[in-house]
Amino acid sequence: MTAGTKIKAKDRDAVIQSLRAGVVPRSGQHLIQVGRAQELDALIKDIDRIGDGGSAIRFVIGEYGSGKTFFLALVRAIALQKKLVTVHADLTPDRRLHASKGQARSLYAELMRNLSTRAKPDGGALSSVVEKFVSSALAEARSRQATPEVIIRERLDHLSEMVGGYDFAEIIAAYWRGHDTGDDVLKSNAVRWLRGEFSTKTDAKKALGVRIIVDDANFYDQLKLFAQFVRLAGYEGFVICLDELVNLYKLANTQARKSNYEQILRILNDSLQGTADGLGFVLGGTPEFLMDTRKGLYSYEALQSRLAENTFAGDGIVDFSHPVIRLASLSQEDLYVLLTKIRHVFFTGNVDAYLISDVEVQGFMQHCFQRVGEAYFRTPRNTITAFINLLAVLEQNPGVSVENLIGKVTIETEQNPDLLPFEQEEDDTPVSDPTLADPGETEADDDLASFKL
Amino acid sequence: MTTLPPSSSNGGQQASSGFQRLHPGVQKWIWQQKWPALRPIQEDAIPPILVGQQDVIISAATAGGKTEAAFLPIFSRLKDATRAGIGTLCISPLKALINDQFRRLSAIGEQLDIAVTPWHGDIDAGRKKRLLKQPSGILIITPESLEALFVNHGPDMTAFFQGLNYLVIDELHAFIGSERGKQLQSLMHRVEQVIRRKVPRIGLSATIGDMGLAAEFLRPGRADQVNLVISEEEGQEIQLQVRGYRKVEPDLEKGLNLGSEVETEQTGDSEDEIDIAAHLFRVLRTETNLIFINSRSAVEAYTDRLRRLSEQQRVPNEFFPHHGSLSKDLREEAEQTLKGDQPANVICTTTLEMGIDVGAVKSIAQVGAPFSVSSTRQRLGRSGRQAGDPAIVRFYISEPEVTPTTPQPDTLHPALVQTIAIVNLMVFKRWCEPPIVTKLHLSTLIQQVLSLIAQYGGVNASQLYQVLCQTGAFRQVTQEMFIKLLRQLGAKDLVQQTHDGVLILGLKGERLVNHYSFYTAFQTPDEYRIVTRGNMLGTLPITSPLFEGMYLIFAGRRWKVLAVDAERKVVDVTRAAAGRVPRFSGDAGFIHDKIRQEMYRIYRADDAPTFLDKTAVDLLREGRENFCRLALDNRCWAKNGKHTLLFCWMGSQVVNTICLLLRTQGLDVGMEGIAILVRDISPERLLEKLEVLVESGPADAVELAAIVEDKVGEKHDCFLSEELLCWNYASSFLDSQGAWDTLKRLTESNN
């Protein structure tokens, strides 16, 4: 652990604030990364392969709260450093891989909104990518004494063999026209089309003269086209990160779920057979999403056979070339290292400013264990939030002793905020307030809170 | 063309103040209707609704102006509102009513440029899709369709309802106490939950005596804060008649006798049945009417008679049957003819009335005694919906001729007296059965659990309990019960749990939820098949508890129950010892205490109601005489050979409980109409046994429920464990305290 490294205030704030809110920080992940070295290596190899023109697909499987999202964010950061373009989105009941009411298109739109490059790691980089392509075409046109339009068509020529490629080229050409004539409206319409924001064909026809739009049926083909496009624009490759795949598992409609799994199969086949060049998929899900033979990926016969575990692996023997990567839960030691790293970041890398000693950190962990048992290190999200709150109080209240504060630490349980009561009952039934300290709850409440079928 | 006086005009005429507060567009529409003034109920309703802070119930007779009273201020508010999404949600029980409501409201809506959309099974998908994309205005929907919206479009519901100003319930009285009503209460709460705020609820109700019941239904726990706007106006005129007929035994051969031709093919038809059919034929032809009969076989029999009468008179047949055992085609045929322009008379079982989704008919006929005031009132409400039309209902009550061998309960002519009691309570006392507050409605809770999980994709146990039970509609369900229920659902693969504790649908649960019938919370109860030694005797609707060793009356004979297969709905019986069996088995449904008490009062009185015909007046007199002859004005029992008849004069809950209590004392019992037959015991010994029961205090209803075999009644009851079924059954069908009080009263008055 490099105790002396300087930590930028910007990184420090990004990390601490995100962790406090229970989300993964957008930058500075390397500061708090713990363990998982081999898994990371495997992903890095994948990224290199994508850079060389190959394809890759990985299912990152880990328990709820085990750090999957963090891992995905780390992978994205590495890909950006290596000059790939990344897009990412979380699946929700409203955003799926296959739909007929626009939920797939809304996934596409979210992906494109989050498009990032090394220069713009926070998303919204779509227009810069298109701009880059057009400028490089311009440069080539000047050197070869040809019109840029011809160069553009040449470059996009082999795209026209792919599904929807011809119209895609039209859109880029429209962008160029707008760029050339100074027609900003045309330019922004072209970008909107690429972002999937046109919902009817008539609108698209009016604005851009093309008769197709990105919709539920063709969004995957659009993604493949875009992967080719970014390479033509000079980037190394295209990585798509999809998280919260458990939302497919939770779909109530059997048919919808099957169609989504079929789509995953299609993606898997394209990757493994190498028909999607320069495109990588990283998908995050829970173990039961993968392995439940009645509702998970394994319920779909073709997926089960392709994703079945290597029979030689297990019990310490690992195989990281398999599409499925299992993230083991953090161990207590890992969590300890993580907390010390967080402490390091919190105090901006200044060891002397630490307000909590190693022993006290261990005391904190002990207290959490008494509160919620093993969950505190297996699903560390809430533990981390509590820890940062503790540090914040320590920082702002110099006189307070650490032991006192540790005694008052509570770990919240996960609740869907939409389902919380929306008005206080005036009669005697107590509303279960999750931030209340322990003694108020009755045993029966505990039974419901920790209900197991 | 009249103008309404301005509010500043002289004197005390504040009558137009409500009008002044309405939006100008609405005022213009009112002017165009050429109304001389707003009706009092409309004046009274406008201020609280416009303010929009309180729940309101508007109560008036049919065509009393309820709809306008609610919707004129609602339209005014919507005109001023700017939020996106549905402005007013109106829930109505029948598709036909929704179509009517739509016609009236869309006329106003068009003028004010506010969208009005009907939504139910018959509305085309394109229209629904358009509304989902651009929600606005007023939505009129059935509870089932609303349930479907939550299940299929869960994530969109917040945006859909975010601008909701009002939640209107049409025909409120029709929902109170039923499974469907419970579902409705749960849906109302879920709407508020999804937008995270309370919405003023407006109930439109017929006049029932105790409006507190309606208020409690509309806003559970806050009934005192509901604003009641009650119309003083006279309701619709009711024309009612109870016709009595004497049933002579079918051994005297009489076929249908029409003038010259004498047909004797149906020797089974007794004279009263022939007469009833003839009268029905005479008064109901050439119009559209509904005829209600208590059992499927009787529906078939009467349809047959009426058809043959039509044939013989060489007129087109206008009579169609409708009951649960008929094929879908035949039922649809009946419904289509009702909706059409040609005269049509549909003969249906009383249990299927919700399935008849049509609007107005001219009159209602009921053959056989009714058993519930609210269902009778609902049936009455189907007739004469146009303003000014009276509601017409005729009851045809057939009582056996009294001979020395007539069973004792029949000599009291209970069917007739029950009918009179119900008419008295309904028309003169404006009474209505109160809902059973302790009822758990576990079947509907199961539906709501699955629906909520489908709506959100997955919910954890404590939030399910919070939304559905703590703050929601199922407040009688304790945590312990809820946990047991969830475990049971897990065992039946209706739900399963992910590793982070969230409950999602199991495979079986998915199949259930994805099926189109899921959204309905109730089902028409199936009749039980009665078999003996492998031969099927027929079917019978069973609403009282069935247990081994009890006595059952069927097809004019007495049987002893050997076994009950609740899953396949089969009862295996064997012939019991001979003895005349009363005709009025009273097994058609659930009777409230007050009805029996009113019957007792009628027996002891001596006036004859004006709505009886001559035969009925005679029968009433006879019944009263026999009442005195059996000394029932002084005693609660009557000797019946070796057995004793016990008369409690209480409703089904109490009687069921007493039957089970007697069983625990080792007695053989059977319910025989208005009395309990206790076999092989003298009245003195019976009284002793009753005293023993009184001394041991009120029994545990849940323990008693364990004796009952046919506890599965509602739609999802089949998924409950035995323990939950006992709880559920006890809460709905048994009344331990009431039974004990009754026994105490009976033993005291006899000593």
Confidence category of residue A1, pLDDT binned at 50, 70, 90:
very low
Q: Are A106 and A199 in contact (CB under 8 A)?
A: no
Tell me the pLDDT tens digit for each residue of B205-224.
887 778 888 999 999 989 99
Instruction: Report the share of chain B in percent with pLDDT over 90.
Output: 45
Residues 78-107 of B with CB under 8 A from A: none
Q: In chain A, which residue's Cα lies nearest the Cα of B483?
A: A448
Q: Which residues of A touch B508 (CB under 8 A)?
A: none
- Interval B222-263: pLDDT, tens: 999 999 998 877 667 889 999 999 887 654 333 333 333 333
Q: Are B322 and B356 in contact (CB under 8 A)?
A: yes
- Asked if A247 is an interface residue toward chain B (Cβ–Cβ < 8 A), one would say yes
Strand partners, B572: B531, B563
pLDDT at B374: 83
Pull the structure tokens for residue B681: 């015991």
Residue A385: what pLDDT? 84
Cβ-nearest to B462 among A63, A252, A448: A448
Are B470 and A421 an interchain contact pair (Cβ–Cβ within 8 Å)? Answer: yes
Interchain pair A94, B500: CB under 8 A: no
Distance of residue A448 Cα from the nearest chain B Cα, in angstroms: 5
Q: Is the dihedral of CA B50, B53, B58, B63 positive or negative?
A: positive
The tens digit of pLDDT for each residue in B463-509 reads 999 999 999 999 999 999 999 999 999 999 999 998 778 899 999 99
Identify the pLDDT of residue B170. 93
Q: How confident is the model at residue B48 (pLDDT cuts 50, 70, 90)?
A: very high
| Most B CBs within 10 Å, among A249, A448, A450, to test the B interface | A448
| pLDDT value of position B5 | 46
As a whole number, the mean pLDDT across chain B is: 86
CB of B457 closer than 8 Å to CB of A426 = no
pLDDT, position A315: 65
Using CA coordinates, name the residue in chain A closest to B454: A252
Assess B513–A contact: CB distance below 8 Å, yes or no: yes
Tens digit of each residue's pLDDT (9 = 90 or more) over A271-323: 988 788 889 999 999 988 998 988 999 999 899 888 887 777 766 667 777 88
User: What pLDDT is recorded for position B352?
Assistant: 58
- Cβ pair B462:A453 closer than 8 A: no
Residues B687 and B744 sit within 8 Å (Cβ to Cβ): no
What chain A residue is nearest to B504 in terms of C-alpha separation?
A250
Higher pLDDT among residues A432 and B134, named by residue = B134
The predicted pLDDT at position B226 comes to 94
Query: What is the average per-residue pLDDT within B280-303?
Result: 87
The top-scoring range by mean pLDDT among B269-283, B356-370, B481-495 is B481-495
Stretch 246-265 of chain B: residues touching chain A, C-beta under 8 Å: none
Q: What angle do CA A139, A142, A144 make, to 5 degrees?
A: 110
Q: What is the reported pLDDT for B385?
A: 60
- In this prediction, residue B354 carries a pLDDT of 58
Q: What is the pLDDT of residues B510-568, one digit of tens each?
A: 999 999 889 999 887 777 888 988 888 887 777 778 888 888 877 767 888 899 888 78
Q: Which residue of B has its CA nearest to A256?
A: B514
Question: Given the structure tokens 């004494």, which residue do they identify?
Answer: A145
Amino acid B228: pLDDT = 93
Q: Of A220-229, A377-386, B343-352, B373-382, which one has max mean pLDDT?
A: A220-229
Element (H, E) at B129: helix B125-133
Say if residue A426's pLDDT is above 70.
Answer: no
The pair phi, psi for residue B137, each rounded to 5°, is 75, -145
Cβ atoms of residues B324 and B526 within 8 Å? yes
Reported as a single tens digit per residue, the pLDDT across A50-81 is: 999 899 999 999 887 778 888 999 999 999 99
Sequence letter at residue A448: L
Q: Which residue has the higher pLDDT, B384 or A88?
A: A88
Span B692-742, pLDDT tens digits = 999 999 999 999 999 888 888 889 999 999 999 999 999 988 999 999 999
Q: What is the DSSP string of B436-487?
A: -TT---HHHHHHHHHHHHHHHS-EEHHHHHIIIIISSS-TT--HHHHHHHHH
pLDDT confidence bin for B63, thresholds 50/70/90: low
Q: Give the pLDDT band of residue B393 (cuts 50, 70, 90).
A: very high
Strands of the sheet containing A279-285, edge to edge, are A85-90, A238-243, A279-285, A56-62, A324-327
pLDDT tens digits, A118-145: 999 888 999 999 999 988 888 888 898 8
Whether residues A448 and B483 touch (CB distance < 8 A) is answered with yes
User: Is B182 a residue whose pLDDT tops 70?
Assistant: yes
Name the B residues in 433-462 with CB < 8 Å from any A CB: 453-454, 456-462
Better-predicted residue by pLDDT, B236 or A239: A239
pLDDT of residue A158: 78
Contact between B499 and A287 using a beta-carbon 8 Å cutoff: yes
Contact B479 A445 (CB under 8 A): yes
Quick: pLDDT tens for A6-35. Answer: 778 888 888 888 888 878 887 788 888 888
3-state secondary structure B182-203: HHHHHHHHHHHHHHCCCCCEEE
* Higher-pLDDT residue of A453, B214: B214
**Sorting pLDDT into bands at 50, 70 and 90, what band is A252?**
confident
pLDDT at B331 over 90: no
Among A290, A372, A422, which would you mutate to test the B interface (most chain B Cβ atoms within 10 Å of its Cβ)? A422
Of residues B588 and A449, more confidence is placed in A449
3-state DSSP of chain A: CCCCCCCCHHHHHHHHHHHHHCCCCCCCHHHHCCCCHHHHHHHHHHHHHHHCCCCEEEEEEECCCCCHHHHHHHHHHHHHHCCCEEEEEECECCECCCCCCCHHHHHHHHHHHCCECCCCCCCCCHHHHHHHHHHHHHHHHHHHCCCHHHHHHHHCHHHHHCCCHHHHHHHHHHHHHHHHHCCHHHHHHHHHHHCCCCCCHHHHHHHHCCCCCCCCCCHHHHHHHHHHHHHHCCCCCEEEEEECCHHHHCCCCHHHHHHHHHHHHHHHHHHHHCCCCCEEEEEEECHHHHHCCCCCHHHCHHHHHHHCCCCCCECCECCCCCCEEEECCCCHHHHHHHHHHHHHHHCCCCHHHCCCCHHHHHHHHHHHHHHHCCHHHHCCHHHHHHHHHHHHHHHHCCCCCHHHHHHCCCCCCCCCHHHCCCCCCCCCCCCCCCCCCHHHCCHHHHHHHCCCC
Both tokens assigned to B577: 């010892």
B355 pLDDT tier (thresholds 50, 70, 90): low
**By CA distance, what is B459's nearest residue in A?**
A416
Residue A198 scores a pLDDT above 50? yes
* B139-174 per-position pLDDT tens digit: 999 999 999 999 999 889 999 999 999 999 998 988
Residue B357 structure tokens? 């989704």
Chain A residues in contact with B507 by the CB 8 A cut-off are 294-295
pLDDT, averaged across chain A:
84
User: CB of A416 within 8 Å of any CB in chain B?
Assistant: yes
Mean pLDDT for the stretch of residues B571-589? 72
Q: List the single best residue of B193, B499, B507 to mutate versus A (max A Cβ within 10 A).
A: B499
Q: Which residue of A has its CA nearest to B481?
A: A444
